[in-house]
Structure 1
Amino acid sequence: MTEMMKAVLLHGFGGPEVLRYEDAPRPTPASGEVLVRVHAASLNPPDLYLRDGYRALPPEWQPDPVFPLILGTDVSGVVAAVGDSVSGLGVGDEVYAMVRFPEDLMKGSSAYAEYVGIPASEVALKPAGIDHVQAAGAPMSLLTAWQFLVDLGHDAANPFQPFRHEPIALNGKTVLVNGAGGGVGHLAVQVAKWKGARVIAVASGKHEALLRELGADVFIDYTKTAAETVVDDVDLVVDAVGGADMERWLTVLKDGGALYLVNPLGFSGHDEAARRHITVSSTQVRSSGAQLAEAGRLLENGTIRVIVDSTYPLADASAAHERASRGNVQGKIVLVAA
């Protein structure tokens, strides 16, 4: 008889209301996997895009998954079972991970559930001193900041450009982070500061006190001041927002600087960037237990903090998605399993 669990199931694309908390078959760990009893899972933009059917993409890129599917990549929990060929992890270990990303980008990585099977290579021990809610908020956002700013950590083909993304040295440099109050942004501010940069944080005014506390040297409230009109001679811009007019960041960069685009779709300033020898680069974040273990030491010693905007019971995932759709999120939204 199949063992069951509770999970948030998606039976068809749509708004937050299509997420249903129902019974689902409990997975068993395959060879090389661990089964994790989920204590918390966080929301990330790909969760919202997939729930909606990636409607912003061209039709030929849109997913055609087998329903029902389970959203979610980021988890923190406890190892409940270990598959064959797994060493270094055991039942009872507290762990965190970003699950099968981007491999399961278009079909869901199944983290919005009481249990999830995860390749052991993607799992790291949860940093001591932080709880499961904070740990669940870290993986995708922290790995994004880490792979953009510290170490790419893999040689997989880059879907956004023909060349490998290469982080630049940040010690003594000036770094501007756009979208500094969000999941990736608030961690990018802290990672850049840890690497020795002077950091300019751009976000709405509600985030100012927090971002200064997290190490921002300069804060710009974009609702009152267009950052590109008051800043220049920047070494690196990290744009964690995307959307229209990303080209404006070229005006704040010194010749020979760099522009890192977390979501590069729609950028059209390559000619000007080439003329001024500005490196425009992006990359697709990828799961890595080794990098979570390395970055986790900074969470453990308090050098980096994960800020939680709000928490919701797993059963109320639809309300959490509704919160995310309203925007102006400070840090991460986290689902807490019963």
Structure 2
Amino acid sequence: MRTTAWGSQGLEASIEGLGAMGMSAFYGDRDDEESTATLNRALDLGVSLIDTAEIYGPFLNEQLIGSAIGHRRDEFALATKFATHVSDDGERGPVDGSPEYARTAVERSLRHLGMETIDLYYLHRVDPDVPIEETIGAMSEFVTEGKVRYLGISEAAPETIRRAHATHPLTAVQTEYSLFAREPETNGVLDTTRELGIAFVAYSPLGRGLLTGTIASATDLEDDDFRRNHPRFTDENLQRNLAVVEKVKAIAETKGVTPGQLALAWVMHQEGVVTIPGTKRRKYLEENVAAADIELTADDLAQLDEAAPVGVTAGARYPEAGMRAVHL
């Protein structure tokens, strides 16, 4: 796994990190034993950025990472996030970007992780009621205090990114990006991160699993999998999206790779982009890691552009409530 600069502030990590969310939340039953093995296998394979958030559980994912690989702390950079107000007993509230909550969240995350420093600390969602300068200003204090090394922001609009970066230099901007979610190419986010020297961190690079070619129906998902209520997985939308997957599959077959690997390779071939595919199983981790070695030609990229152009996906990225919280 090759290492690259994540932005221009000094953070270096593998071009492909590991998103740990699904190990503890949103994607069906937990299996902490397999998740622990997967986290350790990731480090063995050279994956050196692990991504989590306090809301994953809440708290369970941070605690899992601390217990599973805390003893290997010098082998990886740890990214976590805050935004949704969560009480100490796990009750969720609205997005809260206040300086007071930022401090509560960072100190609690450090306790749950069992770590002294967070390498990359994100504002998970922008609070429309708190000026971004106040939130980032509070987060910059954590850098001064040694609690955090670098700052990031997630699902923010270009102007918000610029204002945040002017308050304290950002290392990373995290947004959904894949062959099924190419909006950052047209809404100014990618142009902004490239201009400012900020790493663009693509989450859900496999289209929430659709681009693996292993999902044929929402009934393939566990009963408590949040994708069952996701617009892109409803019957009519899903069939239209699966037609695109078939085109990606056909291209992948000519390369001798899986469609998921091809989709990941496409993301990693984009300028200034790193990625954090998520999985809770070793076999999928190993498949994802192998994608970092795939070379794509200009013809390959052109074929993928034709198969999955901007706007091809049927259905919104999130249900209506979730969409109201992105790109602010």
User: TM-score by structure 2 length?
Assistant: 0.28
Structure with greater helix share of residues: 2
Q: Which has the larger radius of gyration?
A: 1
User: TM-score by structure 1 length?
Assistant: 0.27
Structure with greater strand share of residues: 1
